Amino acid sequence: MNFRWDMLGIAAVVSVVLLGFALLFAYGIVRTQRRVMPKVNPRLGLRLCLWGAVAGLVFLLLLEPHEVSLDVSERTGLDISFAIDVSKSMRVEDWDETDGNSGTLQERLVTAKSVVERLMEKKSGYRVGLSAYAGAATFFPLTTDHDAAMAWLNSIRTTDFPGGSDMAYGIQLAACLANESVGYGTECAHLAGFDSGDEENAVPDKRGRAVVVLTDGGGAEDDLVSVEVKKATEDGKLVLLVGFGTVSGGRVPELNDKNEVVGLKKNKEGTGYVLSTLDEVRLQNLAQQSDNVRYIRAKNTEAATSQLLDALSELKEGRIGDDKGEARVPTDTIYWIALFMLVAAERLVGARYV
């Protein structure tokens, strides 16, 4: 049985003091009744004792006495691994196609990060992993700590990577991250940070897994990307290709060492600017490889998030962990009964007082 310990000490002291005074007064009355207060009835001391006990019980009831039990509930969800293209082309600002004639510009990478964050908010119990790629790639392992994952993603800078956009490697990393619950396997053994583990004794997990690729479609050769997409779906993972940008495209920026836009990239001849467009045809062709591959056009954050949630709803959620908490069970019934009995006793004693 537990109480709110910050108040229990005060209540106990007050209750003991009240009861002590009542007992001392009652004792004094009995001892001195014949000599000092011959007309005082000894039952008055008993009534004071009863009221002291009543006061103590009232203080305890104010503390809301209760028992605390451990409440454990199963948390279910999916394993989602994101592969985010952070190359220069993802820093392009496109006209918002859903914004009418207002002329709002959207940076592709900013929108992609917003989609990841929004999905985490919608599915706070899911485990998420992140891989960021350009000419090279890095990753953040699966976790339920979405704040830490988002902080890592927001710390990623385009200028931290060599030029290019190696989509094949980004997908390979993301697929390996999604395999954490079933063993990384030999396909991931050569990647830094991955351990193939005991592949023979690995127990397949029943929790659904997905690889979400956020890109404008540019980068590595089609054959290499196609191979990695196919590998990612072989063990039942769902691959979602989310396309950012527009068909009309936008100008690729030049960045300084601080990852700040300082101008626009010119072509080799220096006569014009380099344009980057959404390679939608390429992404659609990749999505036709398997029923476990889908293409989603990210016109804006909300639309892309909604479509992703619809696609992920087809996967079976499995146990991720347990949510532990404390369940408070009130135990004040016995105190109320005791209080009623004490008050009733005091009234009976008082009724006999003469």
269 or 152, which is more confident? 152
Q: What pLDDT does residue 203 have?
A: 42
C-alpha–C-alpha distance, residues 99 and 249, integer Å: 16
CB-based contact 332:2 (threshold 8 Å): no
Q: What pLDDT does residue 22 have?
A: 59
73 or 171, which is more confident? 171
User: Of 1-5, 78-82, 343-347, which gets the smallest average pLDDT?
Assistant: 1-5
Instruction: Dump pLDDT digits (tens) for 318-334.
Output: 877 655 555 566 666 66
Contacts of 17 (CB under 8 A, 6+ apart): none
User: Model's pTM, two decimal places?
Assistant: 0.69
For 13, 39, 93, 345, the CA distances from 35, given in Å and listed in that order, are 33, 10, 101, 29
Q: What pLDDT does residue 206 have?
A: 72
C-alpha–C-alpha distance, residues 129 and 176, integer Å: 10
Position 83 pLDDT exceeds 90: yes
Q: What pLDDT does residue 11 have?
A: 54
For 138, 149, 284, the CA distances from 141, given in Å and listed in that order, are 10, 9, 28
Q: Grade residue 6 by pLDDT with cuts at 50, 70 and 90.
A: very low
Position 354 pLDDT exceeds 50: no
Q: What pLDDT does residue 115 have?
A: 97
Angle at 257 between CA 254 and CA 261, to 5 degrees: 35
167 or 269, which is more confident? 167
Q: Grade residue 345 by pLDDT with cuts at 50, 70 and 90.
A: low
Instruction: Dump pLDDT digits (tens) for 88-113.
Output: 999 999 876 655 545 578 899 999 99
CB-based contact 335:54 (threshold 8 Å): no
Nearest to 306 by CA among 110, 122, 107: 122
Nearest to 259 by CA among 334, 187, 159, 122: 159
User: Of 160-169, 171-180, 336-345, which gets the smallest average pLDDT?
Assistant: 336-345
Most confident of 98-107, 306-315, 330-339: 306-315
For 101, 158, 245, 248, 255, the CA distances from 92, given in Å and listed in that order, are 19, 12, 8, 12, 11
Q: Quote the percentage of the chain above a pLDDT of 90.
A: 40
Contacts of 160 (CB under 8 A, 6+ apart): 259
- Average pLDDT of 175-199? 62
Q: Grade residue 207 by pLDDT with cuts at 50, 70 and 90.
A: confident
Contacts of 98 (CB under 8 A, 6+ apart): 299, 300, 303
Q: Grade residue 198 by pLDDT with cuts at 50, 70 and 90.
A: very low
Q: Grade residue 5 by pLDDT with cuts at 50, 70 and 90.
A: very low
- Average pLDDT of 136-163? 93
222 or 154, which is more confident? 154
User: Of 40-49, 140-149, 283-292, which gets the smallest average pLDDT?
Assistant: 40-49
Position 230 pLDDT exceeds 80: yes
Q: Taking the alpha carbons of 174, 176, 181, 182 in that order, is the dihedral positive or negative?
A: positive
Per-chain mean pLDDT for the chain: 78
